[in-house]
Structure 1
Amino acid sequence: MKRLIAEFEEQSFTQIIFPHAKSDWALYLEEAQETFVNIINAIIKYQKCLVVCDDVESVKSRFEKNENLYFVEYETNDTWARDCSVLCVEDGEEIKLLDFTFTGWGGKFEASKDNTMSGAIKDCYDKEVVKVDLILEGGAVESNGIDTILTTAECMLNKNRNAALSKEEMTQKLQDEFGMSKILYLNHGYLAGDDTDSHVDTLARFVDEKSIMYVKCEDTNDEHYKELKLMEDELKTFRNEHDFKLIALPMSDACYFDEERLPATYANFLFVNGAVLVPTYGVKQDAEALKIFRETFPTKDIIGVDCFSLIKQHGSLHCVTMNFASGVLLA
């Protein structure tokens, strides 16, 4: 059996790319680095973390010595580990690390160094890195670990990625690469300020084999109301067809920077062993979101992490991390 391992399953480590002066974080680098330090410190309480950085000694000096903390030196274009790292696929008794092509979300940004990162640091892993001739970002696919991939048509079928492929061909390609029989496309849902063409990890996420958390907007005056309502209707159709449970997350109050609305979303949470890290933005909905996570995961620690600095660059907590499945060891 071949399958894209789900994020809620046991993990070996988390990978993260540390901000540096040549990345887009340059204008508020210290603020961003502080946020990344907080995220890493939260992760290593529960599991190992591999930090990709441009200067190992400089970054290492920010942390106390910890047996769960690993470093590798490589200079990236940016820090969106979710989209340029490998994805863990179980194929029979073997785990393969699939390295898809990353083009900066359809050529919006320079990403050549990000695209070659996984090949450059492949010696960090004890599994083979397999290059796949397909443009695909990790934030674009959600797996229930059994038979279903949840994605968005706006991203996965966008002609700025794999223009030569029809929907039928893309569906077949996803089934072939991930071994999942059901590919569910959301045709609605977006967040203002998002550069990814509506990555599913900003909108709707599997939290177990049969449950999907999603962003629900109840403010009829909010620009997102119509599209998120239509997305909810689609999810209800999926629920009825596939016996899923739906768990609604609140829509954050509008967050702005330089008069631009930012993509603040609680769907961009991160699983680690024994805990769920939840992005917060300094708004009143933070408390409600954390309460929902505690009710959903009563046996896990729920850790809020201030991610306002991340959404200044149009991503959040899940976007800057990548989980590696249990069975993949750091070499």
Structure 2
Amino acid sequence: MSHSVMLPEWAPCRAVLLAWPYPGGDWASNYTEVVESYWGILAAIARAAPVWVLVHPSLDFSGFNAELEARVIEGVVKVRNDIHYDDTWIRDYGPISCSKKLMSFTFDGWGGKYCAKADNQVALSLSDWLLFQPRSVDFVCEGGGLEVNAEQVLLANEECVIDTKRNPKLHKEDVQNILREYLGVKEFAWLQGICLTGDDTDGHIDTIARFAPAGKTGCAVIYSGRNTLHHDASVLQSLHQQITVLAARWGWEVFELPTPIALSKVDGRLLPATYANFLICNDCVFAPVYHLPEDDAALAVLKRAFPTFEIVPVYCAPLLEQHGSLHCATMQVSTLAL
């Protein structure tokens, strides 16, 4: 058994990784808007931690650097353009911070839905920035599918971790043993059947329920709340019921976020908008907002859940067009991984 454990997101943060959108990727329908949103993400996070930016080799690197200089962003920003990637959702293929090491699981485009050959090499190509090589494991799993607290309880949705498309030969007990060995997980809090319409990940936990180091028990859970008018009302009700049971079992304090109804500005389809897709970084919680009526209520819930943190709203509506948000677009690297 490993003595190393996956670190909760509120562990001290050394840097945050971003993979910049590029025109040949998935963002053709709203490229200008998503790039502006990424500049907002970069500027916000750089005030709390260094930001390491991967700029796709197809982009004009000198133009990017000129834009970075012109925007006069406070903080440390490092950029490079020598690493290819398929997708901008670095949460799912970036290195996972554990105590005294970094892990790199296999990424296969969420069960083979999309090309991920370049993405799968990214974490292993960052050893100079990371100062050492992440440990590579032949097990398909994405960072957005895993949420741990300081007691090494893993909160996750079964459908995207115990999945025959991702790991066809592994049963539930096999998967749990792998997560125990490589991430130091002690106990499992599994959700079942929770996936918002349009979510390509089969229900990543970072879109539906998250931990916070708060509450009388030292841990709280924040989740996407009920909305009877939402297309996924029954799924959200099931999430509420399952979280209530798990929270009672472990003594977690519970915070229910609003779940907004967001429609695509490109083709009008329902988007998997969630306020649970926030990023915890040092003494800040970077909260996605969408210029929707529920924004203020969501920020108020997060302030109650994170009373000692600064809540920083970041406009992320353009990211919803590709079914992700702020947490999906980022990956923190902990100082404790050294």
- 1:251–1:265 CA contact under 8 A, matched in 2: yes
SS of match in other structure, 1:319:
coil
Could you tell me which residue of structure 1 aligns to residue 241 of structure 2?
233
Q: Which runs of 5+ in 1 are unaligned?
A: none
Alpha-carbon RMSD? 1.5
Instruction: Tell me the distance in 1 between the aligned counterparts of 2:256 and 2:75.
Output: 37
Q: Structure 2: how far apart are the matches of 1:149 and 1:297?
A: 20
How far has the Cα of 1:271 moved from its partner?
1.0
Structure 2 CA distance for aligned equivalents of residues 175 and 328 of structure 1: 18
Q: Which residue of 1 aligns with 2:132?
A: 127
Which residue of the partner structure matches residue 149 of structure 1?
Answer: 154
Partner of 1:127: helix, strand, or coil? Answer: coil
AA aligned opposite 2:241: D
1:104-154 deviations in Å (ceiling 9; x for gaps): 111111111111111222221113311111000000000103221111011
Shift of 1:270: 0.8
In 1, are the aligned partners of 2:209 and 2:221 still within 8 Å (CA)? yes
* Counterpart Cα distance in 2 of 1:170 and 1:327: 25
8 Å contact from structure 1 (residues 105, 196) kept in 2: yes
Alpha-carbon contact 1:72-1:121 (below 8 Å) kept: no
- In structure 2, what is the Cα distance between the partners aligned to 1:144 and 1:127? 25
Q: Report 1:265-284 matches (<5 A).
A: 265-284=274-293
- Cα distance in 1, alignment partners of residues 256 and 24 from structure 2: 38
Give the deviation of 1:171 after TM superposition: 1.0
Q: 1:78: which partner in 2?
A: 87
Cross-structure match for 1:39: 41
The code of the aligned residue for 1:311 comes to L
List 4+ stretches of structure 1 deviating above 6 A.
none
Structure 2 counterpart of 1:20, from 19, 22, 28: 22
Query: Hey, what's the Cα distance between the residues in 2 that align with 1:205 and 1:67?
Result: 27
Instruction: Report the counterpart of residue 10 of structure 2 in structure 1.
Output: 8
Of 152, 176, 179, which aligns to 1:174? Answer: 179
Q: Which runs of 5+ in 2 are unaligned?
A: none
Aligned to 2:272: 263
Query: What's the offset of the Cα at 1:5?
Result: 0.3
The 2-side partners of 1:293 and 1:100 are apart by: 30
Secondary structure at the counterpart of residue 235 of structure 1: helix
Cα contact 1:215–1:248 (8 A) shared by 2: yes
1:39-94 CA-partner distances (Å, limit 9, x unpaired): 0000111110000112443322222365510112222111001001010111xxxx
Structure 2 residue identity aligned to 1:6? P
Answer yes or no: is the 8 Å Cα contact 1:154–1:187 preserved in 2. Answer: yes
The match for 1:319 among 294, 306, 328 is 328
| 1:291 and 2:300 are equivalent in the alignment | yes
Using the alignment, how far apart are the partners of 1:245 and 1:294 within structure 2? Answer: 14
Count of matched residue positions in the alignment of Structure 1 and Structure 2: 324
Q: CA deviation at 1:197?
A: 0.3
- The TM-score, its normalising length taken from structure 1, stands at 0.94
Aligned with 2:106 (options 98, 101, 104): 101
Matched-pair contact (CA < 8 Å) for 1:253–1:285? no
- Alignment of 1:203 onto 2:208: yes
Seen in structure 2, the aligned counterparts of structure 1 residues 188 and 232 have a Cα distance that, compared at 3 Å, is farther
1:158 is matched with which residue? 163
Among all aligned residue pairs of Structure 1 and Structure 2, give the percentage whose two residues are the same amino acid.
Answer: 31
Select the structure that is richer in strand: 1
Q: 1:59 aligns with which of 59, 64, 70?
A: 64
Q: What letter matches 1:11 in structure 2?
A: C
Partner deviation per Cα, 1:197-235 (whole Å, 9 max, x = no partner): 00000000011252110011132x422221221122111
Q: Secondary structure at the match of 1:112?
A: coil
Q: What TM-score do the two structures reach when normalised by structure 2?
A: 0.92
The 5 Å alignment of 1:211-222 reads: 211-219=220-228, 221-222=229-230
Q: Which amino acid aligns with 1:48?
A: P
